[in-house]
Amino acid sequence: MVVANPQQTTGVSQKATQQRPASQMSELEVLIRARYPLVYVISWEEQRVVGEVCRIASRLGKKVFEWSITTGLVPGGTACVSTRHKDAATEDPLIALDKVIEDTEPALYVFKDLHGFLRGQNMAVVRRLREVAFALKSTYKTIVMVSPLLELPADLEKEVTILDFELPNEQHLAALLDRVIQEVKDNPKVKIELNPTIKAKIIDGLLGLTIAEAENVLAKTLVQNKGLDEKGLDVVYQEKKQIIRKSGLLEFYEADVSLQSVGGLDLLKDWLLKRAVGFTEQARRFGLPAPKGVLLLGVQGCGKSLSAKMISNLWRLPLLRFDVGKVFGSLVGSSEQNIRRAIQVAESIAPVVLWVDEIDKAFRGAKGSGAATDAGTSARVFGTFLTWLSEKKKPVFVVATANDVSMLPPELLRKGRFDEIFFVDLPNEAERKEIFRIHLAKRNLDPAGFDLDRLSAASIGYSGAEIEEAIVAGMFDAFYAKQPVTTEGILVSLQQTVPLSKTMSEEVDELRRWAAGRARPATSQYQPRQQGRVLEM
Ligand SMILES: Nc1ncnc2c1ncn2[C@@H]1O[C@H](COP(=O)(O)OP(=O)(O)OP(=O)(O)O)[C@@H](O)[C@H]1O
Ligand SMILES: [Mg+2]
């Protein structure tokens, strides 16, 4: 993802682009060729960035220098080799930046620790960088700042172009795997049994990780499994799950919800079934775009989260849950970084279902009333997310769920963000029967032994979750009384609960009114209800 600076209009060097098609260039190379003076690369992988800069430099016949506070400005690739390569005179960033301006030859400069000065709002460095940006505009020199976090003072926003360095792709990981195999192949204690299929699966399992993380996963697999073979795949998957979870906002979910275990919602299911082939090559050739995402709006406990899990199961795609609540967790300063990393991980695993549960919570934060948010960060964080939603190219299908529409900003609902917005209402009579059937069967009870008509009639206004709870409560009563579970028993537990739709009838009505003109019903027998009352459909 590039956040390009529209004010920079320096043209791409014609000669250079003719030599190498733009489609084969990394985004960093495109920016360097276009003579952007200051590029801010966000990545944990300093060495990969330096490597990429060195490759670009050799293609363009430019020199490379690296700068850090411990080495000063030294020739590229030497900084971590030994302390002999040290230029104490340029350890001061201001002097190093002066040197960059004074140099006359085409060169690329990787600055590693500059973000520390920017974070501290070191005004001298900020000012000098603005001057450098101006001075470098008409030269063949580019400064590439590398940092795991985005720490850019507002003063520099116009001068600096931000670039998210993509996580390693299949080729990078294949090269890593080959290198690791090469390193251990002579070790008699390690057994390597890999055919191309298993290799591809291992590589697939490593997507979403940095090179260092992937290397750790392979090392651990080698140790635990005493080699690399099909059995090692499990270790790879487990390790990757752990790493993704640790990195904050994302979590892999088991997609164990089948189409049959979700009651009702026929229109939603129909829509999803038609798009099940949406990510195939055939669909692309037919001229179809890959599905982008759906927003599921609706009453609590009616199957929104359940449907998200169903989609991944139906489409046989991995399910990644994105925890929006954590975006504005205690580490506010890194919110933006969190969201960027989450997007990157999802993209590198694509095709994937990205489940953004309770997205309304995020915007509660974004509106500034959340506990630890500041308006500037929130707006930026969600700006990043919204832009990505409408511009994403990778097959990441976003399933967002929400039940508080008052929190949703109009930008989120604008055309192009989602393919469709579905409204999930309380289940109608037929749907309630189906939900009873599903949950009775799930608990080893034969639905044929129950009067589903009566149960359904007695549960008007109950959500799927409340129906499930009533069944469980009825079972507890029966178990305690050492009696079989009966229709009457469940009817009693239904009577003992007051459904949310009663206690929160105003909110539910408001939601329906809002959805009437804006969202598509998830159920075909849907009829708008009369206001103020929970009516049967
Ligand atoms: N249509 C349904 N079919 C079968 N079970 C259902 C259905 N709706 C709800 N349930 C049951 O209720 C539970 C809770 O539903 P779910 O978590 O999907 O609700 P939700 O719409 O996401 O609610 P919330 O807005 O509170 O997050 C489900 O795990 C499931 O057991
Ligand atoms: Mg939910």
Sequence ranges of the domains in the chain? 2-15+25-164, 170-246, 253-424, 429-502
Ligand nearest to the CA of 302: 1
Q: Do domains 2-15+25-164 and 429-502 have the same CATH topology?
A: no
pLDDT attached to residue 433: 96
Instruction: Kindly tell me the sign of the dihedral angle through the C-alpha atoms of 326, 329, 334, 336.
Output: positive
Q: Which atom of ligand 1 is nearest to the CA of 465?
A: 12
pLDDT attached to residue 1: 45
Q: How far is the CA of 403 from the centre of ligand 2 (A)?
A: 9
Q: How far is the CA of 395 from the centre of ligand 2 (A)?
A: 23
Given a contact cutoff of 8 angstroms between Cβ atoms, the answer to whether 469 and 436 are in contact is: no
3-state SS assignment for residue 111: strand
Interatomic CA distance for residues 360 and 408, integer angstroms? 6
Instruction: Using alpha carbons, select from 9, 115, 117, 43 the residue that is nearest to residue 344.
Output: 43
Tokens of 261: 């275990």
pLDDT attached to residue 14: 37
- The answer, yes or no, to whether any atom of ligand 1 lies below 6 A from the CB of 428, is no
Q: Supply the DSSP string of 391-450, one letter for each residue.
A: H--S-EEEEEEES-GGGS-HHHHSTTS-SEEEEE-S--HHHHHHHHHHHHHHTT--GGGS
Q: How far is the CA of 468 from the centre of ligand 2 (A)?
A: 15
Q: How far is the CA of 311 from the centre of ligand 2 (A)?
A: 14
pLDDT attached to residue 247: 66
- Non-local (6+) Cβ contacts of 469 within 8 A are 493, 497
Ligand nearest to the CA of 424: 1
Q: How far is the CA of 433 from the centre of ligand 2 (A)?
A: 21
Amino acid at 4: A
Ligand 1 atom 29: residue of nearest CA: 306
- The answer, yes or no, to whether any atom of ligand 1 lies below 6 A from the CB of 93, is no
Residues of the chain with pLDDT > 70, as a percent, come to 87
Instruction: Quickly name the fold that domain 2-15+25-164 has.
Output: Rossmann fold (3.40.50)
C-alpha pair distances (Å), 173 with each of 134, 137, 145, 206: 39, 36, 25, 7
Amino acid at 529: R
- The answer, yes or no, to whether any atom of ligand 1 lies below 6 A from the CB of 521, is no
C-alpha pair distances (Å), 485 with each of 125, 137, 452, 467, 474: 74, 79, 14, 15, 7
- Residue ranges, the chain, pLDDT below 50: 1-18, 80-82, 330-333, 368-372, 528-537
CA 51 from centroid of its chain's CA atoms:
26
Interatomic CA distance for residues 534 and 432, integer angstroms? 15
- The answer, yes or no, to whether any atom of ligand 1 lies below 6 A from the CB of 426, is no
Interatomic CA distance for residues 335 and 333, integer angstroms? 6
pLDDT attached to residue 178: 92
Tokens of 119: 């974070």
- The answer, yes or no, to whether any atom of ligand 1 lies below 6 A from the CB of 247, is no
Ligand nearest to the CA of 402: 1
Instruction: Kindly tell me the sign of the dihedral angle through the C-alpha atoms of 146, 152, 155, 159.
Output: positive
Interatomic CA distance for residues 531 and 115, integer angstroms? 56
Of 258, 299, 468, best ligand 1 pocket probe by most atoms within 8 Å of the beta carbon: 468
Q: Supply the DSSP string of 485-513, one letter for each residue.
A: --HHHHHHHHHH---HHHHTHHHHHHHHH
- DSSP 8-state class, residue 461: T
Ligand nearest to the CA of 321: 2
pLDDT attached to residue 523: 92
- The answer, yes or no, to whether any atom of ligand 1 lies below 6 A from the CB of 305, is yes
Given a contact cutoff of 8 angstroms between Cβ atoms, the answer to whether 205 and 243 are in contact is: no
Interatomic CA distance for residues 92 and 114, integer angstroms? 10
Identify the CATH class of 429-502. mainly alpha
- The answer, yes or no, to whether any atom of ligand 1 lies below 6 A from the CB of 438, is yes
Tokens of 203: 């590589």
Interatomic CA distance for residues 353 and 367, integer angstroms? 27
Ligand 1 atom 18: residue of nearest CA: 303
Of 258, 268, 305, 321, best ligand 1 pocket probe by most atoms within 8 Å of the beta carbon: 305
- The answer, yes or no, to whether any atom of ligand 1 lies below 6 A from the CB of 263, is yes
How many residues belong to the chain? 537
CA 69 from centroid of its chain's CA atoms:
33
CATH code for residues 253-424: 3.40.50.300
Q: How far is the CA of 263 from the centre of ligand 1 (A)?
A: 10
Q: How far is the CA of 381 from the centre of ligand 2 (A)?
A: 23
Interatomic CA distance for residues 408 and 366, integer angstroms? 10
Number of H helices, E strands in the chain: 23, 16
- The answer, yes or no, to whether any atom of ligand 1 lies below 6 A from the CB of 353, is no
Q: Which atom of ligand 1 is nearest to the CA of 262?
A: 3
Ligand 1 atom 16: residue of nearest CA: 303
Ligand 1 atom 17: residue of nearest CA: 305
Q: Ramachandran region of residue 264, left (φ > 0), alpha (ψ -120 to 50) or beta?
A: left
Q: How far is the CA of 299 from the centre of ligand 1 (A)?
A: 10
Tokens of 358: 């309770």
pLDDT attached to residue 246: 73
Q: How far is the CA of 69 from the centre of ligand 1 (A)?
A: 54
pLDDT attached to residue 377: 63
- The answer, yes or no, to whether any atom of ligand 1 lies below 6 A from the CB of 360, is no
